[in-house]
Chain A
Amino acid sequence: MKKEINIRELLHRYMEGESTQTEMKQLKAYFDSGQDLPEDLRAFAQMFAIIDEEMPTPSAEALDRFSEGQPLKAKRTLPLWPFIAAACIAAFAFIFLTPPQKEESMAIAYIDGKAVGDKALAMQMGQEALQEIFSNGNQEQQLNELFNAP
Protein backbone atom coordinates (compact mmCIF):
# COMPACT_ATOMS: atom_id res chain seq x y z
CA MET A 1 0.00 0.00 0.00
CA LYS A 2 2.88 2.32 0.85
CA LYS A 3 4.53 1.53 -2.44
CA GLU A 4 1.28 2.30 -4.25
CA ILE A 5 1.11 5.69 -2.58
CA ASN A 6 4.70 6.32 -3.54
CA ILE A 7 3.94 5.34 -7.14
CA ARG A 8 0.99 7.67 -7.23
CA GLU A 9 3.20 10.45 -5.96
CA LEU A 10 5.78 9.64 -8.63
CA LEU A 11 3.05 9.59 -11.25
CA HIS A 12 1.87 12.98 -10.11
CA ARG A 13 5.42 14.34 -10.40
CA TYR A 14 5.74 12.69 -13.84
CA MET A 15 2.49 14.27 -15.07
CA GLU A 16 3.70 17.62 -13.81
CA GLY A 17 6.97 17.15 -15.66
CA GLU A 18 8.98 17.24 -12.47
CA SER A 19 10.24 13.68 -12.30
CA THR A 20 13.91 12.81 -12.58
CA GLN A 21 15.44 10.05 -14.73
CA THR A 22 15.63 7.80 -11.68
CA GLU A 23 11.98 8.34 -10.80
CA MET A 24 10.98 7.59 -14.39
CA LYS A 25 12.96 4.36 -14.24
CA GLN A 26 11.18 3.43 -10.98
CA LEU A 27 7.82 4.05 -12.60
CA LYS A 28 8.70 2.03 -15.67
CA ALA A 29 10.01 -0.85 -13.51
CA TYR A 30 6.83 -0.79 -11.43
CA PHE A 31 4.49 -0.93 -14.42
CA ASP A 32 6.65 -3.51 -16.27
CA SER A 33 6.66 -5.86 -13.27
CA GLY A 34 3.35 -7.41 -14.37
CA GLN A 35 1.89 -7.30 -10.90
CA ASP A 36 -1.81 -6.85 -10.40
CA LEU A 37 -2.51 -3.15 -10.66
CA PRO A 38 -5.38 -1.13 -9.31
CA GLU A 39 -8.00 -0.28 -11.91
CA ASP A 40 -7.04 3.41 -12.20
CA LEU A 41 -3.35 2.62 -12.77
CA ARG A 42 -3.77 0.11 -15.59
CA ALA A 43 -3.92 2.81 -18.25
CA PHE A 44 -0.51 4.03 -17.07
CA ALA A 45 0.89 0.53 -17.48
CA GLN A 46 -0.02 0.65 -21.17
CA MET A 47 1.58 4.06 -21.49
CA PHE A 48 4.87 3.00 -19.88
CA ALA A 49 4.92 -0.15 -22.04
CA ILE A 50 5.23 2.12 -25.08
CA ILE A 51 8.17 3.97 -23.57
CA ASP A 52 10.85 1.44 -24.41
CA GLU A 53 13.83 3.62 -24.59
CA GLU A 54 15.15 6.24 -22.38
CA MET A 55 14.54 9.81 -23.43
CA PRO A 56 17.65 11.21 -25.15
CA THR A 57 19.46 13.58 -22.89
CA PRO A 58 21.20 16.62 -24.36
CA SER A 59 24.91 16.91 -23.69
CA ALA A 60 26.19 19.38 -21.13
CA GLU A 61 27.96 21.35 -23.88
CA ALA A 62 24.73 21.70 -25.87
CA LEU A 63 22.89 22.84 -22.77
CA ASP A 64 25.56 25.43 -22.08
CA ARG A 65 25.32 26.79 -25.64
CA PHE A 66 21.55 26.91 -25.38
CA SER A 67 21.58 28.72 -22.06
CA GLU A 68 24.08 31.31 -23.37
CA GLY A 69 22.06 31.88 -26.52
CA GLN A 70 25.11 31.39 -28.76
CA PRO A 71 24.53 30.39 -32.38
CA LEU A 72 25.91 27.02 -33.36
CA LYS A 73 27.86 28.47 -36.33
CA ALA A 74 29.97 31.60 -36.38
CA LYS A 75 28.37 34.46 -38.35
CA ARG A 76 29.94 34.96 -41.81
CA THR A 77 30.71 38.55 -42.74
CA LEU A 78 30.46 39.26 -46.47
CA PRO A 79 32.70 41.95 -48.00
CA LEU A 80 30.77 44.99 -49.26
CA TRP A 81 32.95 46.05 -52.20
CA PRO A 82 31.73 43.46 -54.76
CA PHE A 83 28.19 44.76 -54.32
CA ILE A 84 29.27 48.41 -54.73
CA ALA A 85 31.32 47.50 -57.83
CA ALA A 86 28.35 45.64 -59.30
CA ALA A 87 26.09 48.64 -58.64
CA CYS A 88 28.58 50.97 -60.38
CA ILE A 89 28.81 48.69 -63.42
CA ALA A 90 25.03 48.49 -63.59
CA ALA A 91 24.77 52.31 -63.41
CA PHE A 92 27.32 52.74 -66.22
CA ALA A 93 25.56 50.12 -68.32
CA PHE A 94 22.23 51.89 -67.80
CA ILE A 95 23.66 55.28 -68.78
CA PHE A 96 25.76 54.25 -71.76
CA LEU A 97 24.21 51.08 -73.14
CA THR A 98 20.52 51.86 -73.06
CA PRO A 99 19.25 53.23 -76.40
CA PRO A 100 18.79 57.01 -76.40
CA GLN A 101 15.23 58.06 -75.78
CA LYS A 102 13.45 60.03 -78.42
CA GLU A 103 14.03 63.77 -78.11
CA GLU A 104 11.47 65.49 -75.97
CA SER A 105 9.00 67.17 -78.27
CA MET A 106 7.81 70.69 -77.55
CA ALA A 107 6.85 73.91 -79.29
CA ILE A 108 6.18 77.13 -77.49
CA ALA A 109 6.03 80.77 -78.46
CA TYR A 110 6.41 83.82 -76.22
CA ILE A 111 4.82 87.05 -77.39
CA ASP A 112 5.21 90.13 -75.19
CA GLY A 113 6.39 87.85 -72.39
CA LYS A 114 3.28 85.65 -72.51
CA ALA A 115 3.61 81.96 -73.34
CA VAL A 116 1.45 80.82 -76.22
CA GLY A 117 1.21 77.05 -76.43
CA ASP A 118 0.45 77.14 -80.12
CA LYS A 119 2.67 74.63 -81.90
CA ALA A 120 1.88 75.98 -85.38
CA LEU A 121 2.62 79.55 -84.36
CA ALA A 122 5.93 78.57 -82.76
CA MET A 123 6.92 76.68 -85.91
CA GLN A 124 5.86 79.60 -88.10
CA MET A 125 7.89 82.09 -86.07
CA GLY A 126 10.94 79.83 -86.20
CA GLN A 127 10.67 79.24 -89.92
CA GLU A 128 10.13 82.92 -90.71
CA ALA A 129 13.18 83.88 -88.68
CA LEU A 130 15.30 81.37 -90.58
CA GLN A 131 13.90 82.41 -93.96
CA GLU A 132 14.72 86.03 -93.21
CA ILE A 133 18.27 85.27 -92.22
CA PHE A 134 18.99 82.73 -94.93
CA SER A 135 17.59 85.03 -97.59
CA ASN A 136 20.26 87.60 -96.87
CA GLY A 137 22.74 87.95 -99.66
CA ASN A 138 20.08 86.71 -101.99
CA GLN A 139 19.38 90.12 -103.49
CA GLU A 140 23.03 90.75 -104.21
CA GLN A 141 23.39 87.30 -105.71
CA GLN A 142 20.25 87.78 -107.78
CA LEU A 143 21.44 91.17 -109.06
CA ASN A 144 24.80 89.66 -109.96
CA GLU A 145 23.12 86.84 -111.77
CA LEU A 146 20.80 89.32 -113.53
CA PHE A 147 23.49 91.72 -114.73
CA ASN A 148 26.22 89.19 -115.38
CA ALA A 149 24.00 86.81 -117.26
CA PRO A 150 25.24 86.24 -120.86
Chain B
Amino acid sequence: MKHLLITLALIAASLPLSAQEGLRINEVFEGNIINELAMQESLVKGESLEPFKLKVLHTVKFTTGNSPRDKVEALFEEDMKGRLSDNNDNLELEYRDGHLYYAIVQIADTKKGRHRYICYQCRQAAMGGNSITLVYMEGKASLADLRKTFKKK
Protein backbone atom coordinates (compact mmCIF):
# COMPACT_ATOMS: atom_id res chain seq x y z
CA MET B 1 0.00 0.00 0.00
CA LYS B 2 2.86 2.36 0.88
CA HIS B 3 4.46 1.75 -2.53
CA LEU B 4 1.17 2.42 -4.27
CA LEU B 5 0.79 5.75 -2.50
CA ILE B 6 4.35 6.74 -3.40
CA THR B 7 3.71 5.85 -7.07
CA LEU B 8 0.53 7.93 -7.06
CA ALA B 9 2.36 10.88 -5.55
CA LEU B 10 5.09 10.67 -8.22
CA ILE B 11 2.50 10.57 -11.02
CA ALA B 12 0.75 13.61 -9.57
CA ALA B 13 4.05 15.49 -9.24
CA SER B 14 5.02 14.85 -12.86
CA LEU B 15 1.76 16.20 -14.36
CA PRO B 16 2.50 19.95 -14.29
CA LEU B 17 5.80 19.64 -16.20
CA SER B 18 5.82 21.85 -19.27
CA ALA B 19 6.31 20.60 -22.82
CA GLN B 20 9.76 22.16 -23.14
CA GLU B 21 10.95 20.63 -19.93
CA GLY B 22 14.20 18.74 -20.34
CA LEU B 23 15.51 20.82 -23.23
CA ARG B 24 18.68 22.86 -22.79
CA ILE B 25 17.36 25.70 -24.97
CA ASN B 26 14.74 26.29 -22.32
CA GLU B 27 17.34 28.52 -20.70
CA VAL B 28 17.11 30.85 -23.67
CA PHE B 29 13.30 30.89 -23.61
CA GLU B 30 13.42 31.67 -19.90
CA GLY B 31 15.70 34.64 -20.46
CA ASN B 32 18.73 33.15 -18.69
CA ILE B 33 21.11 33.72 -21.62
CA ILE B 34 19.70 36.84 -23.25
CA ASN B 35 17.87 39.49 -21.25
CA GLU B 36 14.12 39.19 -21.79
CA LEU B 37 13.97 42.91 -22.52
CA ALA B 38 16.10 42.34 -25.61
CA MET B 39 13.92 39.51 -26.96
CA GLN B 40 10.76 39.31 -28.99
CA GLU B 41 8.81 36.28 -27.89
CA SER B 42 5.55 34.65 -28.91
CA LEU B 43 3.77 31.72 -27.33
CA VAL B 44 0.69 30.21 -28.95
CA LYS B 45 -1.19 27.14 -27.76
CA GLY B 46 -4.41 25.43 -28.71
CA GLU B 47 -7.10 26.11 -31.28
CA SER B 48 -5.29 28.79 -33.30
CA LEU B 49 -2.68 26.22 -34.29
CA GLU B 50 -5.09 23.50 -35.40
CA PRO B 51 -4.79 24.43 -39.12
CA PHE B 52 -1.06 23.72 -38.84
CA LYS B 53 -1.57 20.44 -36.93
CA LEU B 54 0.34 21.97 -34.04
CA LYS B 55 -0.46 22.37 -30.36
CA VAL B 56 2.39 24.52 -29.11
CA LEU B 57 4.44 27.14 -30.92
CA HIS B 58 7.01 29.09 -28.93
CA THR B 59 9.40 31.49 -30.64
CA VAL B 60 12.07 33.95 -29.54
CA LYS B 61 14.02 36.37 -31.70
CA PHE B 62 16.90 38.59 -30.68
CA THR B 63 20.07 40.25 -31.92
CA THR B 64 23.23 39.55 -30.00
CA GLY B 65 27.01 39.37 -30.08
CA ASN B 66 29.22 36.40 -30.82
CA SER B 67 29.67 35.19 -27.25
CA PRO B 68 25.94 34.79 -26.45
CA ARG B 69 25.45 33.33 -29.93
CA ASP B 70 28.01 30.64 -29.11
CA LYS B 71 26.19 29.82 -25.87
CA VAL B 72 22.81 29.52 -27.59
CA GLU B 73 24.36 27.46 -30.38
CA ALA B 74 25.99 25.12 -27.87
CA LEU B 75 22.69 24.60 -26.02
CA PHE B 76 20.90 23.89 -29.27
CA GLU B 77 23.56 21.41 -30.33
CA GLU B 78 23.17 19.66 -26.97
CA ASP B 79 19.47 19.26 -27.65
CA MET B 80 20.21 18.09 -31.18
CA LYS B 81 21.77 14.97 -29.66
CA GLY B 82 18.23 13.90 -28.79
CA ARG B 83 17.14 14.01 -32.42
CA LEU B 84 14.91 11.29 -33.78
CA SER B 85 17.27 10.41 -36.64
CA ASP B 86 19.69 11.85 -39.18
CA ASN B 87 17.16 11.18 -41.88
CA ASN B 88 16.09 14.07 -44.08
CA ASP B 89 12.51 13.43 -42.95
CA ASN B 90 13.43 14.40 -39.40
CA LEU B 91 16.34 16.77 -39.79
CA GLU B 92 17.46 19.75 -41.82
CA LEU B 93 20.57 21.80 -40.97
CA GLU B 94 23.34 23.89 -42.41
CA TYR B 95 26.61 25.23 -41.03
CA ARG B 96 28.35 28.34 -42.39
CA ASP B 97 31.81 29.55 -41.36
CA GLY B 98 31.99 26.98 -38.62
CA HIS B 99 28.71 28.03 -37.00
CA LEU B 100 25.23 26.68 -37.16
CA TYR B 101 23.34 28.73 -39.73
CA TYR B 102 19.97 27.09 -39.45
CA ALA B 103 18.50 23.84 -38.19
CA ILE B 104 15.13 22.12 -38.04
CA VAL B 105 15.31 19.09 -35.78
CA GLN B 106 12.65 16.59 -34.80
CA ILE B 107 13.53 15.37 -31.34
CA ALA B 108 12.72 11.92 -30.07
CA ASP B 109 9.53 11.78 -28.04
CA THR B 110 8.01 8.81 -26.31
CA LYS B 111 4.47 10.15 -26.39
CA LYS B 112 2.58 8.44 -29.18
CA GLY B 113 1.31 10.71 -31.94
CA ARG B 114 3.18 13.79 -30.71
CA HIS B 115 6.00 15.29 -32.74
CA ARG B 116 8.37 17.81 -31.19
CA TYR B 117 10.65 20.12 -33.10
CA ILE B 118 13.33 22.63 -32.28
CA CYS B 119 14.47 25.16 -34.87
CA TYR B 120 17.37 27.59 -34.98
CA GLN B 121 18.51 30.29 -37.31
CA CYS B 122 21.40 32.75 -37.07
CA ARG B 123 21.84 35.44 -39.67
CA GLN B 124 24.03 38.50 -39.91
CA ALA B 125 21.99 41.41 -38.60
CA ALA B 126 21.75 44.52 -40.77
CA MET B 127 23.04 46.72 -37.94
CA GLY B 128 25.78 44.25 -37.02
CA GLY B 129 25.73 41.27 -34.67
CA ASN B 130 23.76 38.08 -35.02
CA SER B 131 20.03 37.89 -35.51
CA ILE B 132 18.91 34.64 -33.89
CA THR B 133 15.53 32.96 -34.11
CA LEU B 134 14.73 29.99 -31.89
CA VAL B 135 11.56 27.92 -32.10
CA TYR B 136 10.00 25.10 -30.12
CA MET B 137 6.88 23.44 -31.46
CA GLU B 138 4.89 20.28 -30.94
CA GLY B 139 1.89 18.64 -32.49
CA LYS B 140 0.89 15.97 -34.97
CA ALA B 141 2.46 17.68 -37.98
CA SER B 142 5.27 15.87 -39.75
CA LEU B 143 8.29 17.76 -41.01
CA ALA B 144 6.90 17.33 -44.53
CA ASP B 145 3.64 18.97 -43.40
CA LEU B 146 5.53 21.89 -41.88
CA ARG B 147 7.71 22.37 -44.96
CA LYS B 148 4.59 22.42 -47.10
CA THR B 149 2.94 25.02 -44.86
CA PHE B 150 5.78 27.37 -44.04
CA LYS B 151 8.31 27.15 -46.86
CA LYS B 152 8.05 30.23 -49.02
CA LYS B 153 7.55 29.37 -52.66
Q: Which residues of chain A come closer than 8 Å to B94, judged between CB atoms?
A: 136-137
Contacts known (A130-B146, A134-B146, A134-B151); A125 close to B40, Cβ less than 8 A: yes
Interface size class of chain B, counting residues whose CB lies under 8 Å from the partner chain:
35 or more
Q: Main SS of the interface on chain A? A: helix
The answer on a CB contact under 8 Å between A119 and B48 is yes
Interface size class of chain A, counting residues whose CB lies under 8 Å from the partner chain:
35 or more
Any A CB within 8 A of the CB of B79:
no
The answer on a CB contact under 8 Å between A123 and B48 is yes
Any B CB within 8 A of the CB of A129:
yes
A residues 19-76 near B (Cβ < 8 Å) are: none
Any B CB within 8 A of the CB of A103:
yes
Q: Which residues of chain B come closer than 8 Å to A108, judged between CB atoms?
A: 42-44
Give the complex CA separation of A119 and B39 in angstroms: 18
The answer on a CB contact under 8 Å between B43 and A134 is no
**Which one, A113, A122, A125, contacts B36 given CB within 8 A?**
A113
Q: Which residues of chain B come closer than 8 Å to A85, judged between CB atoms?
A: 1
The answer on a CB contact under 8 Å between B45 and A103 is yes
The answer on a CB contact under 8 Å between A95 and B135 is no
The answer on a CB contact under 8 Å between A125 and B59 is yes
Contacts known (A103-B55, A123-B48); A130 close to B40, Cβ less than 8 A: no
Any B CB within 8 A of the CB of A97:
no
The answer on a CB contact under 8 Å between A110 and B45 is no
**Which one, B42, B45, B48, B101, contacts A136 given CB within 8 A?**
B101
Give the complex CA separation of A138 and B119 in angstroms: 16
Any A CB within 8 A of the CB of B61:
yes
9 closest Cβ pairs, A-B complex: A105-B46, A125-B42, A113-B37, A110-B41, A134-B150, A129-B59, A136-B102, A135-B152, A130-B150
B residues 24-79 near A (Cβ < 8 Å) are: 35-48, 55, 57, 59, 61
The answer on a CB contact under 8 Å between A110 and B40 is yes
Q: Which residues of chain A come closer than 8 Å to B5, judged between CB atoms?
A: 88
Interface string of B130-143 (1 = CB under 8 A from A): 00010101000000
Any A CB within 8 A of the CB of B147:
yes
The answer on a CB contact under 8 Å between A131 and B152 is yes
A109-B42, A112-B38, A131-B150 known, 8 other contacts, Cβ within 8 Å: A88-B4, A103-B46, A105-B45, A108-B43, A129-B119, A133-B120, A137-B92, A138-B151
Contacts known (A132-B121, A136-B121, A138-B152); A126 close to B92, Cβ less than 8 A: no
Any A CB within 8 A of the CB of B126:
no
